[in-house]
Amino acid sequence: MNSITIQSPQPAEEGESLSLIVDSRSAGLRLDHFLVQALPGLSRALLISAVRSGDIKVNDNVRKSSYRLKTGDLISGQPRTLDIPIRVEPEEMPLQILFEDEYLIALSKPPGMVVHPGSGNTGSTLVSGLVHHCQSIAIVGDAARPGIVHRLDKDTSGLMLVAKTEGVLRKLAADFKNRRVKKKYLAIVKGIMPEKSGRVVAPIGRHPVNRQKMAVQPATGRHAATNWRVIGEAGDRYSLLAIVIETGRTHQIRVHMQHIGHPLAGDAVYGGGSKGHLFPRQMLHAARLGFNHPVTGQDLEIVAPLWPDFFMAVKAVFGEIPSQLGEFA
């Protein structure tokens, strides 16, 4: 097990082992406060429960959540999965599949659909449709999110990759982790950008007050970089952006756009105004994925057409479809 410092914590999920070394900047923090900042993929309740049960220890000793950390403390353990269904029921549903072979599926997730079951999400999910479409996916990877290589927020539409075998899942996950997958998004943001293109580099971590949100956290956040380019403007009200992310942090584009004063239209959580007829959700679409096929070695580039709500919003706001958006329309 590799030890790491708070500056670069492992992106842990429920059930994964962890090993964290406390550096001088984090000395004095409560154990629970440290954990929720270092492990944004896990809920506060799960982490506190894991500390109480001894699933997470400090220097191989059980400590209280209020324990004050010291430089060099080793935090290790394995949080148990809590309230996560272990079985996905197949469910017939329409899937917008853009590419499929015996190894993987590339599809476009519709807005409003949750990718996999979890705490608070036990109804219809994308993985239920995938397991119905291809039964063998049910035994690939985690039982609650079989085949899932990466995720999109519920109200973000667009491209996702799904693995049909364990080997393909591991290879694609490694490619995402090592930034070998090219990810391009389209977004409508509030206001007019100061330049025609730019780059946001700001570390992201769990919001210190609202644990359901992420935020720019200079001291404890994880490195995150987002590149944007203007492809359309509507007066001084809105901009249409092509966005390429170098990293894949939770809510990265939403947080970075809010950070520079141009939140996503329709993103009530991050300052983009409430949802309505014009913007029924956060206006973010995963438009393109470029990657190397994990088995054949072929370079693939998949494009996901706009979903109707995004297309109609672009027409309503910008008056016409910008020429650079043609391939996605």
Lowest mean pLDDT among 57-61, 108-112, 186-190: 57-61
Q: Tell me if 86 is assigned to some domain.
A: no
User: Does 326 score more than 80 pLDDT?
Assistant: no
E strands within 101-213?
104-109, 157-163, 182-190, 197-201, 204-206
Q: How much is the average pLDDT of 300-321?
A: 93
Name the phi and psi angles at 44, rounded to 5.
-60, -40
Residue 301, beta-bridge partner list: 290
91 contact partners, CB below 8 Å, separation of at least 6: 124, 128, 129, 131, 132
Residues 42 and 166 in one domain: no
- Count of domains observed in the chain: 3
Q: Is the dihedral of CA 145, 147, 150, 151 positive or negative?
A: negative
Q: β-strands 4-5, 18-21: how paired?
A: parallel
| Whether 234 and 163 share a structural domain | no
- Asked if the structure places residue 264 within a domain, the reply is yes
User: How far is CA 21 from its chain centroid?
Assistant: 25
Does residue 89 fall inside a structural domain?
no
Q: Round to whole Å and give the CA distance between 111 and 297.
A: 31
Q: Residue 315's closest CA among 238, 263, 227, 261? A: 238
Of the ranges 73-77, 95-99, 174-178, 259-263, which one carries the lowest mean pLDDT score?
Answer: 73-77
Do 201 and 282 fall within a single domain? Answer: yes
Q: What local confidence, expressed as pLDDT, does residue 317 receive? A: 94
Determine the pLDDT at residue 80.
58
Give the model's confidence band at 52: pLDDT under 50 very low, under 70 low, under 90 confident, else very high.
confident
Mean pLDDT of the chain, nearest integer: 87
Indicate which CATH number applies to the domain containing 170.
3.30.2350.10
List, in sequence order, every residue forming a beta bridge with 40; answer none if it has no partner: none
pLDDT tens for residues 207-255? 888 877 999 999 889 999 999 999 999 999 999 999 999 999 999 999 9
Taking 50 as the threshold, does the pLDDT of residue 4 lie above it? no
Beta bridge partners of 189: 239, 264
- Token pair 């004063």: residue: 261
CA separation for the pair 321, 261 (Å, rounded): 25
Assign 128 to helix, strand or coil.
helix
Q: Do 268 and 197 belong together in one domain?
A: yes
Q: Write down the pLDDT at residue 60.
A: 85
Q: For the segment 142-189, what is each residue's pLDDT rounded down to a tens digit?
A: 777 899 999 999 999 999 999 999 999 999 999 999 999 999 999 999
DSSP H or E segment with residue 99:
strand 96-100
Tokens at 2, concatenated: 């590799």
Give me the pLDDT at residue 198, please. Answer: 98
153 catalytic per annotation: yes
Query: What pLDDT does residue 40 have?
Result: 67
Q: What's the pLDDT at 77?
A: 80
User: Last residue of a domain, which of 77, 112, 132?
Assistant: 77
Q: Does 263 reside within a domain?
A: yes
Residue 290 and residue 305 in one domain: yes
Q: What is the pLDDT of residue 269?
A: 94
Q: Which of 134-138, 177-181, 201-205, 206-210 has the lowest mean pLDDT?
A: 206-210
Distance of CA 171 to the CA centre of its chain: 18
End of a domain among 50, 77, 104?
77
pLDDT at 96 over 70: yes
Residue 8 has pLDDT above 60, yes or no: no
Give me the pLDDT at residue 212, please: 79
Q: Record the tokens describing residue 46, joined without a space.
A: 């799960």
- What is the pLDDT, as a whole number, of residue 1? 30
- 285-304 pLDDT, tens digit per residue, is 999 999 999 999 999 999 99
| DSSP 8-state symbol, 228 | E
Asked if pLDDT for residue 191 goes beyond 80, the answer is: yes
- Look at residue 90 and tell me if it is in a domain: no
Q: Choosing from 73, 142, 153, 267, which is the catalytic residue?
A: 153
| Domain boundaries, position 59 | 4-77
Judge whether residue 7 has pLDDT over 50. no
The domain boundary residue, chosen from 114, 144, 177: 177
CB 193 within 8 A of CB 242: no
Q: What is the pLDDT of residue 84?
A: 44
- Are 186 and 296 in the same domain? yes
**Which residue did the predictor score with more confidence, 245 or 43?**
245
Other CB atoms within a 10 A radius of the CB of residue 133 amount to 18
| 40-49, 57-66, 171-180, 292-301: segment of lowest average pLDDT | 40-49
- Does residue 84 sit within a domain? no
Note whether 221 and 308 are same-domain residues. yes
Arithmetic mean of pLDDT, 109-131: 84
CA atoms within 13 A on the CB side of 326: 2
